[in-house]
Chain A
Amino acid sequence: MNKSLRSKIAIAASLVLSAGLVATGLPSAQAAGIQPTAAQLSAWKGKEITYYFYNDSQAELDTTKSQIADFEKLTGATVKLDVIPYTSLDTQLQARLAGGNAPDVARLNNPGLYIKDSLDLEKYLGRNYVKEFLKGSTLQVTHPTTKKLIGVPYDLTVNGPFINVDLFKKAGVAVPTSWNWAQLVEAGKKVQKATGSEYAFAIDKSGHRVSTVMSQFGAYMVDKNKKNVLPSSKTRAEKAIKIITDLYKADQAPRDLWIGTGTKYSSPTAIFLAQQTPIFFSGNWQVASLNRDAKFDFAAVPNPKELNGGGWPGGKFLIAFNASKNPDLAAFFLRYLADTEQMEQMDKNAFWLPTRVDLVSQGVKYATRSADMSVFQADAAKTPAAAYGIQSVPTLTGKIYDKLRDLMTEAIAGKITPKQIVEQQIAWIDTQLATLKK
């Protein structure tokens, strides 16, 4: 028998074998059809790949390490885990790429910047691989011209509010099951007054989070055809922005945190943990850390509904780099991490939302905080399609969000009005979209 026939038989055999394992429902890591072939095993033995990684929580780091250990046993290769601080994620990666020192795979939240460095996953994982994931979640990792899959959606994030249940109870305000922004602000202020907490509200200093509020008022910035749609939703955007800037200007939300940190990212998580704000608008990735560090009862509550309900999507992605010396192994590693078994385990431990079609339909059973995760999942389902529009311009999302954030800083400091924010943001989006034509 010649070599290629042998390997074909090996592949076929392993597929049959793994199908059999799936059928019997064995919960081992080797189940679900992610067996490397014999040929691959011999090629990969002793090879090493680098995983450029950042984590939201300790749970995520621990699970990653244990999954890497399993992967190493499975393939005989080694994975070097490089943990990078979130704030220097892109800069360090750029430095490495510039220095010819690219990692093999990376976990990112802004894959758009690396499209031209990414590995064509369809070549290694097949054209149908993309179908394993939710349609909306693959937009940001689809090559804009070749339309091929260049990354794996690792988790789905949904923005939304957390509340300090203890403070709410103390103030006699009921935990909301549905509300609009007016009610949210009123509840926050009421709890603030009754309990003496420093603030009524806090939101991450981020254009991405603010977009959630805008979406609920029916205002969007870019649509799926890469068009600037903010002009047609000007007044609604103003309304949404004004709610946030008013709270911050009046120092009912942590004004100092927003203004005093310059170009650096800041999150009021510490303020929420110190119980100085009853409402904390962030997203589901906070659940793991809050679960560990909060010394009070907290809960995720549904996003307020104005014109729309639902949250705002985001996510983390895994991509492999075309500079990798072991592209086959790298692609397989991505597939491994994003496979049903591994993704389910990670979702459970780190309180993530799945991006796989099979996991979404069967549901992930979280050991604790399942109520919170259900709230986020429900909001994920309710998120309007228009919210995904901005993902049509993956290389520009960072700049658009950052500009929005900077404009809001100026408004909070009293230099401009929400109306001017919207006008300047429109102009900015236009200049950014124009760079695409070049």
Chain B
Amino acid sequence: MSKLQERASANKWSSISGKKPPSVGTVLRTTFLLVMTFVILAPVLWFVLSSFKDATDLGARPPKILPTRWAFENYTEAFQMYNYTRYFMNSVFVTSVATVLTLLINSMAAYAFAKYNFRGRDGLFVMTLAMIMIPLQVILIPIYLVVSSLGLVNTYWGMIIPAAATPTGVFIIRQYMLTIPDELIEAARIDGAGEFRIFARIVLPLCRPALAVVAIFSILWRWNDFLWPLLIAQKEELYTLPVALALLNGQLVVPYNIVLAMSVMSIIPVLFMFVFMQRQIVQGIAQTGIK
């Protein structure tokens, strides 16, 4: 028998379609991926379903997957009793303004670090990196004291400005800018373009992937940030969604079902954004060459 015929008979899988049987590797891989999908999706789905349950269902034992009664009032009460729309708009405002500010000043600083040679450059850069390691809780009170002495407490700017100088942002953009050829900038200088023009018209547009990554990280982080806005926002009109959630969760009698509904509502925008942007995120990170 020829080698092929031997192999064919040795093959125990009788496939009708004539396709090759899945290799062990593929089976393992697919199983792994399916398990991963389950472990990630299941808790989130459970959470979403729970937001539609009423108090009795939430305390049921053993727990039921679907609510016996779809408690839509969890959501309507969230809107009626609590100023959900306001919190949402605040979150949107703070997140978007903060992201724009972050992108602006981070990219400017990154440009300086990447394309200029000036005294103290390396020292400043290392200092910037070192700051990634300070957890916010450690400097919470001193920052608060500084912010309040500047009169920024209880203002939108107080929520937005202090954290805009993100070290990771500077790092990522700088990495990318390093790959932009110096000749391009030199040529523009010879043509008589001003420094800022070069930065804004030539360099920045080339940095889109890096900017996208920083933007996405900033959006994610600001949208979910709660500790700092909790301290700064001292009147209800300023509360962002996470602050409102923390507020609800910290009441003397926690309206747990409303907490669930509001939490679910707070996830949706980010989810939306991600579904549409996940390709850019991965590509962006790839292209910034995190080396």
Q: Do chains A and B touch in the complex (CB under 8 A)?
A: yes
Give the interface of A toward B (CB within 8 A).
Answer: 54-58, 80, 82-88, 92, 95-96, 98-101, 198, 267, 269-271, 273-276, 285-286, 289, 293, 295
- CB-contact partner of B154 in A101, A275, A286, under 8 A: A101
Contacting pair A88 B145 (CB below 8 A): no
Query: Chain A interface: which of B10-18, B186-194, B243-251?
Result: B243-251
Residues on B with beta carbons closer than 8 Å to the beta carbon of A99: 144-145, 147-149, 153
Contacting pair B248 A82 (CB below 8 A): no
Q: How far is the CB of B193 from chain A (nearest CB, A)?
A: 46
In the complex, whether B81 has a CB less than 8 A from a CB of chain A is yes
Contacting pair B154 A85 (CB below 8 A): no
Interface centre among B141, B236, B252 (most CB of A within 10 A): B252
Contacting pair B144 A269 (CB below 8 A): no
Q: How far is the CB of A166 from chain B (nearest CB, A)?
A: 13
- CB-contact partner of B144 in A87, A98, A273, under 8 A: A98
Q: How far is the CB of A171 from chain B (nearest CB, A)?
A: 19
- CB-contact partner of B148 in A86, A101, A269, under 8 A: A101
- 10 A-B pairs, CB-CB below 8 angstroms? A56-B253, A82-B235, A84-B247, A99-B144, A101-B153, A269-B254, A270-B254, A271-B59, A274-B58, A289-B253
Assuming A82-B234, A85-B247, A99-B153, is B56 touching A275 (CB within 8 A)?
yes
Residues on B with beta carbons closer than 8 Å to the beta carbon of A85: 246-251
In the complex, whether B49 has a CB less than 8 A from a CB of chain A is no
The 8 closest A-B pairs by CB, nearest first: A274-B59, A85-B250, A99-B148, A87-B250, A86-B252, A85-B247, A289-B253, A273-B55
Q: How far is the CB of A164 from chain B (nearest CB, A)?
A: 13
**Digit string of B43-55 for contact with A (CB within 8 Å is 1, else 0)?**
0000000000001
Q: Which residue of A lies closest to B247 (CB)?
A: A85
In the complex, whether B230 has a CB less than 8 A from a CB of chain A is yes
Residues on A with beta carbons closer than 8 Å to the beta carbon of B153: 96, 99, 101
Residues on B with beta carbons closer than 8 Å to the beta carbon of A285: 252
- CB-contact partner of B61 in A80, A98, A198, A273, under 8 A: A198
Residues on A with beta carbons closer than 8 Å to the beta carbon of B230: 88, 92
Assuming A96-B234, A274-B56, A275-B56, is B253 touching A286 (CB within 8 A)?
yes
Contacting pair A83 B252 (CB below 8 A): no
Q: Which residue of A lies closest to B236 (CB)?
A: A83
In the bound complex, what is the Cα–Cα distance between A295 and B57 (angstroms)? Answer: 13
In the bound complex, what is the Cα–Cα distance between A274 and B63 (angstroms)? Answer: 13
Residues on A with beta carbons closer than 8 Å to the beta carbon of B236: 82-83
Q: Which residue of B lies closest to A274 (CB)?
A: B59
State the total of A-B contacts with C-beta under 8 angstroms: 80
Interface centre among B153, B154, B234 (most CB of A within 10 A): B234
Among residues 180 to 236 in chain B, which have CB atoms less than 8 Å away from a CB atom of chain A? 230-231, 234-236
In the bound complex, what is the Cα–Cα distance between A57 and B252 (angstroms)? Answer: 9
In the bound complex, what is the Cα–Cα distance between A345 and B154 (angstroms)? Answer: 32
Among residues 139 to 172 in chain B, which have CB atoms less than 8 Å away from a CB atom of chain A? 141, 144-145, 147-149, 153-154
Q: Which residue of A lies closest to B147 (CB)?
A: A99
In the bound complex, what is the Cα–Cα distance between A289 and B249 (angstroms)? Answer: 16
In the complex, whether B125 has a CB less than 8 A from a CB of chain A is no
In the complex, whether B79 has a CB less than 8 A from a CB of chain A is no
In the bound complex, what is the Cα–Cα distance between A356 and B248 (angstroms)? Answer: 31
In the bound complex, what is the Cα–Cα distance between A142 and B84 (angstroms)? Answer: 40
Residues on A with beta carbons closer than 8 Å to the beta carbon of B56: 274-275, 295
Q: Which residue of A lies closest to B234 (CB)?
A: A82
Assuming A98-B141, A98-B144, A100-B149, is B234 touching A267 (CB within 8 A)?
no
In the complex, whether B93 has a CB less than 8 A from a CB of chain A is no
In the bound complex, what is the Cα–Cα distance between A289 and B248 (angstroms)? Answer: 14
Residues on B with beta carbons closer than 8 Å to the beta carbon of A269: 253-254
Q: Which residue of A lies closest to B230 (CB)?
A: A88
Q: How far is the CB of A236 from chain B (nearest CB, A)?
A: 30
Q: How far is the CB of B38 from chain A (nearest CB, A)?
A: 25
Contacting pair B55 A57 (CB below 8 A): no
In the complex, whether B88 has a CB less than 8 A from a CB of chain A is no
Residues on A with beta carbons closer than 8 Å to the beta carbon of B235: 80, 82
Contacting pair A267 B253 (CB below 8 A): yes
In the bound complex, what is the Cα–Cα distance between A95 and B141 (angstroms)? Answer: 8
Contacting pair B231 A270 (CB below 8 A): no
Sample of 7 further A-B pairs with CB below 8 A, known A86-B251, A96-B234, A274-B58: A80-B235, A85-B247, A85-B248, A85-B249, A95-B144, A101-B148, A267-B252
Q: How far is the CB of B168 from chain A (nearest CB, A)?
A: 27
In the bound complex, what is the Cα–Cα distance between A316 and B249 (angstroms)? Answer: 21
Q: Which residue of A lies closest to B57 (CB)?
A: A274
In the bound complex, what is the Cα–Cα distance between A275 and B59 (angstroms)? Answer: 9
In the bound complex, what is the Cα–Cα distance between A101 and B60 (angstroms)? Answer: 46
Residues on B with beta carbons closer than 8 Å to the beta carbon of A86: 250-252
Q: Which residue of A lies closest to B140 (CB)?
A: A95
Assuming A88-B230, A101-B234, is B149 touching A270 (CB within 8 A)?
no
- CB-contact partner of A270 in B55, B246, B250, B252, under 8 A: B55
Q: Which residue of B lies closest to A290 (CB)?
A: B253
Residues on A with beta carbons closer than 8 Å to the beta carbon of B253: 56-57, 267, 269, 286, 289
Residues on A with beta carbons closer than 8 Å to the beta carbon of B144: 95, 98-99
Q: How far is the CB of A155 from chain B (nearest CB, A)?
A: 13
Q: How far is the CB of A207 from chain B (nearest CB, A)?
A: 16
